[in-house]
Structure 1
Amino acid sequence: MRNIFTFGHRPAQRNWTVADLRANKGKVQLTEVTVSSREQAARAAAAGIDTLMTRSQYLKEVRDGAPTTFVTAALMLVDHPTEKDVLEGAMRAMDEGADALYTSRSLDTIKMLADLDFPVMGHVGLVPPYSTWIGGLRAYGTNADEAMKLVERFRAMEAAGAFAVEVELVPQEVLEAINEQTSLITFSIGSGSGGDVTFLFSEDICGETKNPPRHAYAYGNVLQLQEQMERERIQALTAFHAAVRDGSFPYRNVTVSMKPNELESFQARLGEAAPLGAQSVG
């Protein structure tokens, strides 16, 4: 565990720093998962996941759930439409304890953030918001021309000052070859084991997704449990409704009763009292 100061000038501890990630390049294969809540972050930390990715608006919760885990805050396009929004969002995220920033925007955006000495991660290969430019959601770099374009993109990101890059749906052989030459820390999602960090979505890993992408793998079946819980809830509510209708509920063991002598006393005194609702005549 490393002692650090956050960009918000607060003392903290981290399992990994940028320097550690760089020193580990080509050595131990690390893990990254997406999280969006305190609970998800805490589970990932308890499982020993090395690094976390979250949208910037969830950062406070995620940091509470995983106070010592390396976290990258994603500055998503729809949340930060202008360069000014990006800069403000980056400042806010770093103040809230982000260790790095992710953006799928232009090289100019990467350079703007890197010039502030913020650790910045870019994105190559399939970049889903821009998938229309490559003909849809598909692997990228499967031919030599595209693979060389990836090499050029890596070089451009290095020049812009990025420290890392998410590599999505790129052939493993291509990533392996590039990773041997680039200084960038490579986060592979659907690109095989040729990168430095293997990345998947928490929901896909836990089996919460009905139609997961081809590159995902479920190590659990939370969706089945969730569906079972939903059935159990409906069955329980239906049974309650039916029991009330047929007069069997409330059951004796969940109903409060008086002691016999107290009941007799109450009934006698009630018989002597004026009826409820009776109006006194003045």
Structure 2
Amino acid sequence: MSVETKRRRLSPAAIRGMKGGRPIVSLTAYTTPIARLLDPHVDLLLVGDSLGMVLYGLDSTVGVTLEMMIAHGQAVGRGAGQACIVVDLPFGSYQESKEQAFRSAARVLKETGCSAIKLEGGAEMAETVAFLTSRGIPVLGHVGLMPQLVNTTGGYRSLGHSEAEADKIRRDAEAIDAAGAFAIVVEGTVETVAREITAAVSAPTIGIGASPACDGQILVSDDMLGLFNDFKPRFVKHFAELAPQVSAAASAYAEEVRARSFPGPEHTFKAKR
């Protein structure tokens, strides 16, 4: 009897080792069924705080709680067997102090079984990143456009157009790299700046609205699948157009229910004699 060999889950160290090699394939996941479908095709699944907007209809990620992240981290863990699973620390769960960050991160790792956490921030968070990594918590960094800071940065826009902005993002990436992050998400950053950062840091960069020269790429899965047609950022490509299919399926279902053609005899249970 043949036994199928189960692939081991990719570790943060394995992701770091992909620097300069085959591009790292990353997507977000929030539920067990989606994680199960994506897992064979990706290297890293991010349980992003974007779930606040994608699943809960919030205007930003600021309202996401640690409990929400843990619940969805657990769900993704049930569906994924080989991808490196990373869970976002939400706004307010780590910025107060490095000790607060450790408590939040340790809880996430213990309760979800994920491999690492992600936090936003540059030079100001370097001490926290170093504190976490030296205590056994792998950290995925995040520089450039940081959605948790939307209330202080004036909204969602690409960054790095001025030399001052570009220099800040470079310094942020270098600080997080030196602090020990195993990889760094570079979001919403002018292409040339993202390319320079990728060449300058030792950790792999994972771009979203950044550069094809990054060591990997990530998208929100619902954007990639074309489940949202009302808003499409410049950096998003729809690899499917599922929104019209979902609407058409719901319409067909409603029509059959109203016509009493569903359920049919083949969908009902017969009495056993």
Give the TM bin, normalised by the shorter chain: 0.7 to 0.9
SS at match of 2:103: helix
- Residue identity matched to 1:124: V
| 8 Å Cα contact 2:223/2:237 also seen in 1 | yes
**1:141 paired residue number:** 160
Q: Is the radius of gyration larger for structure 1 or structure 2?
A: 1
Moved more, 82-91 or 225-234: 82-91
Distance (whole Å) between structure 1 residues aligned to residue 118 and residue 185 of structure 2: 9
What 5-or-longer segments of structure 1 have no aligned partner?
1-11, 244-249, 257-282
| 8 Å Cα contact 2:27/2:44 also seen in 1 | yes
Alignment of 1:86-235 (within 5 A): 86-95=101-110, 96-104=112-120, 106-107=124-125, 108-210=127-229, 211-235=231-255
**2:57 paired residue number:** none
SS at match of 2:212: coil
* Deviation of the 1:79 alpha carbon: 6.3
- Residue identity matched to 2:80: A
**2:55 paired residue number:** none
SS at match of 1:193: coil
- Residue identity matched to 1:44: L
| 8 Å Cα contact 1:173/1:194 also seen in 2 | no
Distance (whole Å) between structure 1 residues aligned to residue 130 and residue 95 of structure 2: 17
What 5-or-longer segments of structure 2 have no aligned partner?
1-5, 49-68
- Within the candidate set 41, 51, 54, 2:35 is matched to 41
SS at match of 2:200: coil
Kindly tell me: are residues 80 and 143 of structure 1, through their superposed partners in 2, closer, same or farther at Cα, counting changes over 3 Å? closer
**Count of aligned pairs between the two proteins:** 236
- Within the candidate set 227, 237, 259, 2:257 is matched to 237
* Deviation of the 1:110 alpha carbon: 2.3
* Deviation of the 1:140 alpha carbon: 0.5
1:218-249: CA deviations, max 9, x gaps? 11111111111221232123223xx9xxxxxx
* Deviation of the 1:82 alpha carbon: 5.5
Distance (whole Å) between structure 1 residues aligned to residue 45 and residue 246 of structure 2: 24
SS at match of 1:98: coil
- Residue identity matched to 1:155: E
> Relative CO higher for 1 or 2, CA cutoff 8 Å, sep ≥ 6?
2
**1:25 paired residue number:** 19
- Residue identity matched to 1:237: V
Moved more, 128-137 or 193-202: 128-137
| 8 Å Cα contact 2:15/2:24 also seen in 1 | no
Distance (whole Å) between structure 2 residues aligned to residue 75 and residue 134 of structure 1: 20
**1:61 paired residue number:** 75
| 8 Å Cα contact 2:18/2:24 also seen in 1 | no
* Deviation of the 1:187 alpha carbon: 1.1
Kindly tell me: are residues 161 and 129 of structure 1, through their superposed partners in 2, closer, same or farther at Cα, counting changes over 3 Å? same
SS at match of 1:77: coil
| 8 Å Cα contact 1:14/1:70 also seen in 2 | no
Kindly tell me: are residues 38 and 85 of structure 1, through their superposed partners in 2, closer, same or farther at Cα, counting changes over 3 Å? farther
